[in-house]
C-alpha cells in the first residue's frame, strides 16, 4: 500500500487545516507547478528551470536536488512528487546525447499524468542576461499565441492548452489598467515554438488612452517539439467535467442574444382596454348627450343627424 494513500487522522489543528486544503472543492485552488531537475541536467537546463520558477512564483515548487527519472518510461516518481507537494503541473529538465537540453512539460489529473509534451531548447536568453527592469513577483501575465499550427495541429492545440494552464496564474474578478504589465508571447512557425516575455510600458500619448510599448524582459526560449504523451479523448473529457453545483441553472422565459443582451418573456392575461385609466382632461370628458347615446345603444353621430 502506498504510504500517501493511507487514511490520516489529524492530531493538531494545523494538520487539520492542511488536510482541509487538499480536499476537493467546488472552486479549486490556483494550480501549482513543480520544477524538477533530472539526474543529468546541464547548466542551461538548470538556468531555464530557475527562470521559469522566477516567472511562476509564488505558485511553483523548485526541487534543487537531481532526480534520476525518465517521465516517458516511468511516471511513478512524478506522481509521488505530485501527491507529496500537491502540484498538478510539472516541468522536468534533463540533458543527454540523444536529447540535449530537454524539457518535459505536463499536467496531472487525480495525481496521475494526464498529458505531457517533450520540448528541446535550441536557444536560451536568461532573465539576468537582459538588463531591463523586471515585473514584480506574482504578476499575472497576458498570454498571446500566434501561428496557425496552434489551431490546426492536434499536438500544438494540446500544447497551447497546456501552456495556458501552466502560466495563467490565479483567477481574478477584475483588473486595473496598470496591472496589465506582463506579456508572454508564443509563436509557432516552421516547426519551432518561440517563447518571448515582455514588460508593458504605458507612455503618455496626449489623450485618455496611453501609448503602449513592449520592452523585452526575459526569459527567451527557442523550442522544438519532440515526443508527446497525450490523454485519450475520454480521459481528457473526464478531466474537463464540472460539478453540477457550478453549472448555471436554466431560468424560464429568459434568453440571450449573441451580444450578451438578456431578453425576458412575460405572460399576462388579456387586458380590457375599455377599463384603461387615461389622463383626466377636460377635452377627454364625455358630454351628457354622448352618455345618453351610449346608454340607449346609439352612436352620438346618429343621434345628431336624427
Residue 92 lies in a domain: yes
Residue 21 lies in a domain: no
Ranges in the chain, pLDDT < 70 = 1-8, 22, 24-26, 246, 278-279, 282-286, 294-295, 297-306
Integer Cα distance of 158 and 117 in angstroms = 9
The x, y and z cell numbers of residue 225, run together, are 517539439
- Asked whether 41 and 91 are in contact (CB, 8 A), the reply is no
Residue 86 lies in a domain: yes
pTM for this entry: 0.72
Q: Give the phi and the psi of residue 181 in degrees, each rounded to 5.
A: -125, 10
- CATH number of the domain where residue 90 is located: 3.40.50.10480
- Asked whether 47 and 129 are in contact (CB, 8 A), the reply is no
- Asked whether 180 and 213 are in contact (CB, 8 A), the reply is no
Residue 96 lies in a domain: yes
The confidence score (pLDDT) of residue 306 equals 41
Structural domains counted in the chain: 1
Residue 296 lies in a domain: no
> By three-state DSSP, how is residue 163 classified?
helix
Residue 4 lies in a domain: no
224: domain range?
29-232
The confidence score (pLDDT) of residue 305 equals 46
Residue 84 lies in a domain: yes
Amino acid at each position: 500500500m502506498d504510504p500517501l494513500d493511507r487514511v490520516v487522522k489529524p492530531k493538531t489543528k494545523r494538520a487539520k487545516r492542511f488536510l482541509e486544503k487538499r480536499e476537493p472543492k467546488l472552486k479549486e485552488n490556483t494550480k501549482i507547478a513543480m520544477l524538477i531537475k533530472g539526474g543529468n541536467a546541464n547548466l542551461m537546463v538548470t538556468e531555464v528551470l530557475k527562470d521559469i520558477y522566477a516567472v511562476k512564483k509564488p505558485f511553483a515548487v523548485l526541487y534543487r536536488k537531481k532526480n534520476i527519472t525518465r517521465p516517458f518510461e516511468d511516471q511513478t516518481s512524478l506522481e509521488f512528487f505530485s501527491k507529496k507537494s500537491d502540484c498538478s503541473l510539472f516541468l522536468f529538465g534533463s540533458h543527454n546525447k540523444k536529447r540535449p537540453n530537454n524539457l518535459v512539460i505536463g499536467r496531472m489529473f487525480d495525481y496521475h499524468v494526464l498529458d505531457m509534451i517533450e520540448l528541446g531548447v535550441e536557444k536560451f536568453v536568461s532573465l539576468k542576461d537582459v538588463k531591463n527592469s523586471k515585473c514584480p513577483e506574482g504578476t499575472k501575465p497576458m498570454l498571446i499565441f500566434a501561428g496557425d499550427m496552434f489551431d490546426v495541429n492536434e499536438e500544438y492545440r494540446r500544447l497551447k492548452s497546456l501552456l495556458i494552464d501552466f502560466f495563467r496564474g490565479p483567477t481574478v474578478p477584475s483588473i486595473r489598467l496598470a496591472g496589465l504589465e506582463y506579456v508572454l508571447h508564443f509563436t509557432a512557425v516552421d516547426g519551432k515554438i518561440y517563447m518571448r516575455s515582455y514588460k508593458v510600458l504605458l507612455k503618455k500619448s496626449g489623450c485618455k488612452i496611453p501609448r503602449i510599448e513592449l520592452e523585452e524582459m526575459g526569459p527567451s526560449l527557442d523550442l522544438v517539439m519532440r515526443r508527446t504523451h497525450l490523454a485519450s479523448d475520454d480521459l481528457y473529457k473526464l478531466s474537463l467535467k464540472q460539478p453540477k453545483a457550478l453549472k448555471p441553472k436554466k431560468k424560464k422565459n429568459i434568453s440571450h442574444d449573441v451580444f450578451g443582451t438578456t431578453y425576458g418573456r412575460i405572460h399576462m392575461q388579456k387586458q380590457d382596454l375599455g377599463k384603461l385609466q387615461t389622463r383626466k382632461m377636460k377635452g377627454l370628458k364625455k358630454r351628457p348627450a354622448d352618455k345618453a347615446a351610449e346608454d340607449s345603444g346609439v352612436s352620438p353621430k346618429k343621434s345628431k343627424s336624427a
